[in-house]
């Protein structure tokens, strides 16, 4: 069975997912497209999915009888409504992050899915599908004993003027928030943020770098350095300290040179290149689950917890170094 | 357009390629299967391609009107005939190595394809599609100046009793023979083989390790260590020394541990894991070219040159350290 | 001029320093030895310095007219009195850490040296003489811009039963406290300690691992992981994040193996091996300055500041995650 | 006992050894200096050894009754006569390479020392004292099984105009010739040289790079890449392939940076820095043996064998790729 897929939002990421399904992955076909700019949807159709139908609205696309599953790639503020509509329609739905712009919104989706009675939604936390994180998880689960500490870093070369301090959580650290929970199979209980001297390369509206300290229910202590004006590259580091040893997230594969008085291996500078393969893997997983009428991987619950944790981290940014507790509601049986 | 593909030979590699086309890659579908053991073909059909038809012979499969393109994955000695039949039928054909068991046989295929007038055949030299070699080629082409020397190693943990000295060329170094020609955009002019003291882990019928020294038309000197009882792993090394610097083939991505008084990163032990991603890429390239009625990548000419070079290396194995010249016929225009 | 040196305390470290001066370094000679166990002093004399005289007390040794300079290697609680006596005698004095067992005691030595009017004391913070830290300092000072963050770790394989939580500061992190001040040319303004889940390998009297967070006057944020039951080795890590790039403390030189399905480089397990060369360098520096009647390198002021900082860190261990301020008195002109 | 040492030749290396003995090492003192330029000797005396006496000739220095041991650091062509004179005088003698400018000359020294009846001479092959090679030897001797292959490289950034092809052996590879014999505890039986395309950075009088292939008595095959216009640095590589695993010569300790889209570790560019510590160690060993009236480490036999091997390699450079046998006379009992 080929899963007939509709894509809502044909901007950069929606277009790219359309290309994946049309040209790279197996088992899915693009039958429907929609964008708030009809021309944009038509352009993607002409280029990548000539047989797809363009819809005037995401709601119509979701309702279309030949659409088996939906990709929500539109602007963040519209996600909540589209995902709720997809659940209402009983259709598997892949939603790019964020699931909703507020924790309450995410909670509403959780409730809707629980009411539906089975999983329908996969949230676009693609790092869980990255080969490096998967290798790391295997080692953490089996070789280094109980995890005690995680040292992580998320560094970008630079950010635009409109990037402000809370975005370091919502746009940047959100990935660590999700992937470390998954890596450790654990939940956060508190957050603290400390600010080193700011880099002279940081704009005035962003405190950069910053260090977020998280504590988990199992007692793991996590430090995440966020440094979005690091200049040197897009560099994602993760080291897990366990009772029996340490394990590091693999570096991306690269050619080492001996040249100019140096042994050097390139570091990526564009975040789009860093986890590019994981997008293929997450969407293939979505297609396979959608063929069965369900969803796997990062759930609405994960999206909801990420939203609660992000909110606590942003509160901690303003708390002058104080520790901010993170309290989660009870986890519904659907997500255990 | 979906390319309708028939697979001849449903052993390990044929089954795996069937799975790729059916479940992983885009643009192709398996419509036909054939194996000298009909039960084997049926088993793969039932498991992976329920709609495919099983044929009693490869020839019938090639002739079938709904087969657009052919994968030759049967035992090596049968390749030549099947590829010739595919060319005869004007159908794109992916042929696992070797193209033919003799250089003469390969020459015949070259002639047939030249007579046909356009490329139809892609030979299964998958390393050209490996992300690591591709990164290396990019650096060699643009950053380290004119290549002068290549140091390479091909190490296996162990080989079975039936592995004899010439197989170090035909089965093992054949990959370096092809990929280094491609990497350097060059041809070989001589080969020499020297034998270090044999490892105590080598069986009596295989001189192991051995070092093959190649010289190219452009004057590059290549040393390839072949060590098929290295014990420690399946390890492929390649370093290019250029006028302006050196470049190394990337190591496969892996988790580094700090444990047991050691910083350690695993080395693969199963050759099937080392270039596993490149099989996807080479077959995707085949499907895309086949959709256009042609073939790209490693050509029959490349297969023919690899056969000539292999023969020279085997001669050099028996030449007591003497240098054996390698002379190539003129390259047909089709392959320029 | 050969500096005539007396050694007080001929236990492990005193014996080793005697050997250095007698057999390895230039410019000094051992003329006097003393230990609370006279037999111990005589044994070291017989073995390493046959021409030295053994004294019944450290005070007599310091007073001896043919002793130009003194090494204080006795048990920690005796350091303060011996160093004061050496200053009183106007003799250059090398004192193993700690300078004194209390910050007040160290303050008294500072005052005595200031009263003397010139430097006489070098404290045994040997990491400042380590080739790796020196390389790192050079890079930090010139290549990576203003330091913003330091990530450090101090891991031991295991500690004995008598090692209790405050020793993680006084015996272990004391080295980071001194060397990071020197590396950054900065002072600490606050300390915080957080405790991850304890390792099952930690004894009941030591909370292990722990993370000490320091803030400096210039705004640098430092996290030091102390993990003294790490099992895997004695491993000292230090990464400085600067405005223009990052720099890492070099790993000790070691042979990389490719063996047993792994690329592995050994990690030391005995702390005595990690900075072994730096002991030579620090004592050579002491001899050279002593020949001029003075002292260089880690000063009594550095020892005093280390004591104040350690006290704050120990307070922070008991402060349930609260931030403990570190206030330093004004630095005397002698140490600017 | 302090060994009273005379230094013949106070150029760069003689001056540096004088400094070592005067200021860094234990157990020796400089009492005599000599140079063909008396002013040069006097300048070194004034600077580093004010109590030393300057002699008009090396012969007088050797004969001086207060000189216990001799360092021969003069120009290469004078070594043979000075070493013979030292043996004649029964005085321990450290001789910088080469021991003699011809194999016959070296043979004469071997004969003289054998006639003397005990070792007096240490040849300045300092790599045997390098910490990295010592670590490597330990691993080769105990962890990786019987050595089968050695891959080595000796790369310089550039060489001056007067550097001609045979110097690649006599001045450059001479170090590998000695240290690999020592590392493997083996002797060479043949040499072959092949020339890759020359680098555009090579002067017209030097074929660069070149690859020297050596075979040992135990059957080890060695390839040494010599590339003296490599541009990128002074880089010494050595990998030993054993029956049970591989071991690599450690890289010199260095700070790794993450900067400018690259993880980079510096490579030295000045050969003088690469083995700088080993000069201290070799001279300390000389002083200690000289105090006993003898010599250890690289012997006159080693110097003689290095000369024979070098001659064979130079012959092989002109032999158009042919294999040149290396035959050694019987080893005198003194050197077993």
Question: pLDDT tens, position by position, for chain D (336 residues)?
Answer: 799 999 999 999 999 999 999 999 999 999 999 999 999 999 999 999 999 999 999 999 999 999 999 999 999 999 999 999 999 999 999 999 999 999 999 999 999 999 999 999 999 999 999 999 999 999 999 999 999 999 999 999 999 999 999 999 999 999 999 999 999 999 999 999 999 999 999 999 999 999 999 999 999 999 999 999 999 999 999 999 999 999 999 999 999 999 999 999 999 999 999 999 999 999 999 999 999 999 999 999 999 999 999 999 999 999 999 999 999 999 999 998
CA C312 to CA C310: how far, in whole Å? Answer: 5
Burial class (CB in 10 A: 0-12, 13-18, 19+), A123: buried
CA torsion sign, D184 to D186 to D187 to D192? negative
Question: Rounded to an integer, what is the distance from CA A218 to the centroid of its chain?
Answer: 23
Q: How do residues C78-123 score in pLDDT, each as one tens digit? A: 999 999 999 999 999 999 999 999 999 999 999 999 999 999 999 9
Per-residue model confidence (pLDDT) at position A1? 74
- On the question of pLDDT at C140 being above 80, the answer is yes
Look at C232 and B261 and tell me if their CB atoms are within 8 Å: yes
Considering only CB atoms, which chain C residues are within 8 Å of B264? 262-265
Average pLDDT over residues B186-204: 97
H or E, element range at C215: strand C210-216
Q: Which of C174, C178, C182, C186 is nearest to C137 (CA)?
A: C182
pLDDT digits (tens, 9 = 90+) for B135-154: 999 999 999 999 999 999 99
Distance from CA of B314 to the nearest CA of C (A): 29
Contacts of B258 in chain C (CB under 8 A): 232-233, 235, 267
**pLDDT reading at C1 higher than 80:** no
Are B248 and A256 a contacting pair, CB within 8 Å?
A: yes
Is some CB atom of chain B closer than 8 A to the CB atom of D241? yes
Q: B264 CB near a chain C CB, below 8 Å?
A: yes
Interface mutation target, options C2, C17, C26, C147, chain D, most CBs of D under 10 Å: C26
Å between A143 CA and nearest CA of chain B: 9
Answer whether C245 touches A (CB < 8 Å). Answer: yes
Nearest to B245 among A26, A132, A257 (CB): A257
Q: Which of D154, D197, D242 to mutate to test binding with chain B, by most B CBs within 10 Å of its CB?
A: D197
> Is B219 in contact with D209 (Cβ distance < 8 A)?
no
**Does position B43 have pLDDT exceeding 90, yes or no?**
yes
> Which residues share a beta bridge with D177?
none
Q: What are phi and psi of C43, to 5 degrees?
A: -60, -45
**Cα Rg of chain A (Å, integer):** 20
The residue-averaged pLDDT of B314-332 equals: 97
Pairwise CB contact (< 8 Å): D264 & A259: no
pLDDT in tens, B252-306: 999 999 999 999 999 999 999 999 999 999 999 999 999 999 999 999 999 999 9
Structure tokens that stand for A242 in this block: 């366990």
D255/C136 Cβ within 8 A = yes
Question: Which pLDDT does position D1 carry in this prediction?
Answer: 74
Instruction: Supply the pLDDT for residue C319.
Output: 97
Of C91, C22, C81, nearest in space to C57 by CA: C81
Q: How large is the average pLDDT for residues C114-139?
A: 98
Residue numbers in A near D263 (CB within 8 A): 251, 264-265, 267
Q: Tell me whether A26 touches chain B (CB under 8 Å).
A: yes
Please report residues of D whose CB lies closer than 8 A to that of B201: 243
Going by C-beta distance under 8 Å and a sequence separation of 6 or more, which residues neighbour residue A7?
A: A14, A17, A18, A30, A32, A33, A34, A44, A70, A71, A73
Beta-carbon separation of B266 and C261 below 8 A: yes
B12-27 pLDDT per residue, tens: 999 999 999 999 999 9
Residues of chain A with pLDDT under 50: none
Closest of D191, D179, D150, D216 to residue D302, by C-alpha? D179
Show the domains of chain C with their CATH numbers: 3-126+277-299 (3.40.50.720), 131-270 (3.30.360.10)
Q: Is C23 on the interface with D (CB under 8 A)?
A: yes
Considering CB atoms only, which of C258, C260, C265 is closest to B263? Answer: C265
Instruction: Looking at the complex, report in whole angstroms how far the Cα of residue D263 sits from the nearest Cα belonging to chain A.
Output: 5
For position B1, what pLDDT does the model report?
A: 74
Residues of chain C with pLDDT > 70, as a percent, come to 100
Q: Which residues of B touch A22 (CB under 8 A)?
A: 26
Mean pLDDT for C19-28 is 94
Which tens digits make up the pLDDT trace of A247-293? 999 999 999 999 999 999 999 999 999 999 999 999 999 999 999 99
Mutate to test the interface with A, among C153, C191, C196 (most CBs of A within 10 A): C196
> How close, in Å, is residue C245 to chain D by CA atoms?
5
């Amino acid at each position: 069975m080929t899963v007939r897929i509709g894509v809502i939002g044909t901007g950069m990421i929606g277009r790219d997912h359309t290309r994946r399904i049309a040209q790279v992955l197996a088992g899915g076909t693009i039958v429907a497209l929609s964008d708030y700019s009809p021309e944009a949807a038509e352009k993607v159709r002409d280029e990548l999915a000539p047989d797809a139908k363009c819809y005037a609205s995401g709601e119509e696309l979701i309702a279309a009888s030949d659409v088996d599953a939906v990709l929500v790639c539109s602007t963040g503020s519209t996600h909540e409504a589209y995902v709720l509509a997809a659940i209402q329609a009983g259709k598997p739905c892949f939603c790019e992050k964020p699931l909703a712009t507020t924790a309450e919104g995410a909670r509403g989706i959780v409730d809707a899915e629980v009411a539906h009675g089975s999983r329908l939604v996969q949230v676009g936390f693609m790092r869980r599908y990255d080969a490096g994180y998967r290798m790391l998880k295997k080692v953490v689960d089996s070789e280094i004993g109980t995890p005690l500490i995680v040292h992580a870093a998320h560094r970008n070369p630079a950010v635009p003027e409109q990037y402000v301090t809370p975005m370091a959580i919502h746009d940047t650290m959100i990935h660590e928030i999700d992937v470390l929970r998954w890596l450790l199979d654990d939940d956060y209980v508190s957050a603290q943020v400390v600010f080193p001297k700011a880099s002279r390369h940081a704009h005035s509206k962003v405190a950069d770098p910053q260090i977020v300290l998280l504590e988990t229910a199992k007692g793991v202590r996590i430090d995440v350095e966020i440094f979005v004006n690091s200049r040197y590259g897009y560099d994602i580091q993760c080291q897990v300290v366990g009772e029996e040893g340490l394990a590091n997230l693999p570096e991306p594969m690269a050619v080492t040179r001996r040249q100019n008085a140096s042994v050097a291996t390139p570091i990526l500078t564009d975040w789009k290149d860093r986890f590019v393969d994981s997008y293929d893997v997450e969407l293939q997983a979505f297609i396979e689950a959608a063929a069965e009428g369900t969803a796997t991987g990062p759930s609405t619950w994960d999206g909801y917890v990420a939203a609660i944790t992000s909110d606590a981290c942003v509160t901690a940014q303003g708390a002058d170094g104080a520790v901010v507790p993170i309290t989660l509601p009870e986890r519904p049986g659907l997500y255990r």
